[in-house]
Homo-oligomer: A and B are copies of this chain.
Amino acid sequence: MPPIPESVSELDRHDPLAPFKARFALPEGVLYLDGNSLGAQPLAARDALAATRDQWRDELIKGWNQGWFDAPERLGDLLAPLISAGKSEVVVTDNITLNIFKLLGYITELQGRSRPVILSEGGNFPADGYIAQGFCHCAGFEHQVLPEGGALADYLDDRVAVVVLSQVNYRTGRLRDMSETTALVHAHGAEVVWDLAHSAGALPVNLHGSGARYAVGCTYKYLNGGPGAPGFLYVHSDHQNRGWQPLSGWHGHAAPFAFDGDYAPAAGMTRFRTGTHSALTYAPLEASLQLWQDVDMAALRKKSLALGELFRDCLTDLLEAEGIDDITMPQEERGSQVAFIHREHGYAIVQALIARGVIGDYREPGLMRFGFTPLYLSYADVWQAAQHFREVVESREYLEARFQIRSEVT
């Protein structure tokens, strides 16, 4: 591999986010472009997990009085500024699937079940559609799908109760205009639940500024909370305290330790909690969210786009010569990822890169996805990853039989 060009080293020397890399535990010899699937490990998260492990041993049940019980609200308040939400508007709990179900129940109850349709997106991560289907099946609503590329306005009418939309598409990285879309949905008398899985921690999310009332997201991607770290749920303060959510659990009760026979929802976001949560998953996430308090989101966005452009610029000629489609969106409509398609060999190319320690990921059909996480990726890392991509493709090493074997989980 040629030496890193001076122009690339220069970018790193002037990078205001460069010091964050030392706050992560990164394995040797890995260039990690998959922080959009599972974020890397903050050093402080390691320590926090070890401390909670000892707290379980030493404090036993008393740990619940020492920060475990109110972690969902405390971490929600730490997360809120990253998505321009206010204090007491975010709770960290369960996962995206369950949180969407809660919001569909909550919103349709507020609407008096006056509209029968739940609309979800085609061509996006299908989990949001699966749970919309489950909700409809259970609660007696009708599920409809907005096809990929379809104009949302054409699918909104007075039968639509709620639309579930991702701010950033998991495949293409397409960024929706949250303000414009929210206004459109509200103008039709419907509500929108925003899924921030690929935007929270990837770019500045402006919930308050865009008029968004409801959102969900995860914390194990850009927010570095650990594998399967809990999800979160946002309700604008003006829309809180209006009804039940259907997954009514004792941690969401107004007085959980009174052991009343009847459910009475707690005030604020607490009612969106269900049962006992894992203290061990909140500890590393809390440490990571504390690290995030120091991040300038505008600088993050600037570097995210610059890293993606560097990667693409290094490969323009190669992609054209090899017939690999670059479906990456223009910068203003992009999350924090670059997406290439090669129907025939996309899977094998990604496997060959992984064998070299360059971790991107693959999504059917044919999509090679590379995520850019400005806190722990340098410009030099990205330049090197692009060189590996070039070498893998030019050398045809992806044709080796070992790279064709599909693993169960990719």
**A262 on the interface (CB 8 Å rule)?**
yes
Residues B262 and A133 in contact, CB atoms below 8 Å apart: yes
Which 9 residue pairs are nearest across A and B when measured between Cβ atoms? A134-B248, A138-B246, A97-B275, A95-B275, A228-B278, A127-B250, A97-B249, A227-B279, A130-B263
Binds B, one of A79-87, A175-183, A357-365, A389-397: A357-365
> Quick check: A249 and B130 within 8 Å, CB to CB?
yes
What 0/1 pattern do residues 209 to 253 of A give for CB contact below 8 A with B? 000000000101000001111110000000000001111111001
Q: Does A169 contact B (CB under 8 A)?
A: no
User: How far apart sit A245 and B261, CA to CA, in the bound complex (Å)?
Assistant: 26
Q: What's the least CB distance linking A39 to chain B, in Å?
A: 9
A65: CB under 8 A from chain B? yes
User: Is B134 in contact with A263, judged by CB distance below 8 angstroms?
Assistant: yes
For A34, A69, A134, A361, which residue has the most chain B Cβ atoms within 10 angstroms? A134
Assess whether A151 is interfacial by the CB under 8 Å rule. no
Cβ contact within 8 Å between B49 and A249: no
**Complex contact A138–B281 (CB within 8 A):** no
Which of A153-161, A184-192, A198-206, A402-410 faces chain B? A402-410
Pair A98/B138 contact, Cβ less than 8 Å: no
* Chain B hits for A131, CB < 8 A: 247-249, 274
So how many copies of this chain end up in the complex? 2
Tell me whether B49 and A49 are in contact (CB under 8 A): yes
Known: A134-B245, A226-B278. 9 other contacts (CB 8 A): A60-B359, A61-B361, A62-B354, A68-B228, A97-B250, A126-B253, A130-B250, A228-B279, A259-B364
Residues of B within 8 A of A262 (CB): 126, 129, 133
The yes or no answer to A318 lying at the interface (CB within 8 A) is: no
Contact partner of A58 (CB less than 8 A), chosen from B27, B257, B263, is B27
Expressed in whole angstroms, the Cα–Cα distance for A361 and B361 within the complex equals 49
Judging by beta carbons under 8 Å apart, are A61 and B37 in contact? yes
B68 touches A257 (CB 8 A): no
Question: Does the CB pair B127–A246 fall under 8 Å?
Answer: no
Chain A residues with CB under 8 Å of chain B are: 25-27, 30, 32, 34, 37-38, 40-41, 46, 49-50, 53, 56-65, 68-69, 94-98, 101, 105, 109, 122, 125-127, 129-131, 133-135, 137-140, 145, 218, 220, 226-231, 244-250, 253, 257-263, 274-281, 284, 354, 359, 361, 363-364, 407-410
Given A49-B280, A63-B227, A274-B97; A247-B27 close (CB under 8 Å): no
Asked whether, in the complex, the Cβ of A277 is within 8 Å of the Cβ of B145, the reply is no
Report the minimal beta-carbon distance from A83 to chain B, rounded to whole angstroms. 19
Q: Evaluate contact between A278 and B138: CB separation under 8 angstroms.
A: no
A281 contact from B58, B59, B246, B280, Cβ within 8 A: B280
- CA gap between A228 and B282 in the complex, in Å: 10
When C-beta atoms are compared, the residue in chain B nearest to A243 turns out to be: B137
Would you give 6 A-B contacts (Cβ < 8 Å), ordered by A?
A25-B57, A40-B60, A61-B361, A63-B227, A95-B276, A226-B280
Q: Given A34-B61, A56-B41, verify A134-B278 contact (CB < 8 Å).
A: no
A286 smallest CB distance to B (angstroms): 13
- Pick the contact of A220: B249, B250, B276 (CB < 8 A): B276
Closest chain B residue to A363, Cβ basis: B259
Residues of B near A259 (CB, < 8 A) are 125-126, 363-364
The distance in angstroms between the C-alpha atoms of A247 and B156, with both chains bound, is: 25
Chain B, Cβ-Cβ closest to A229? B278
Q: Give the contacting residue for A130; candidates B101, B253, B280; CB below 8 A.
A: B253
A60 partner residues in chain B, CB cutoff 8 A: 27, 30, 32, 34, 38, 40, 359
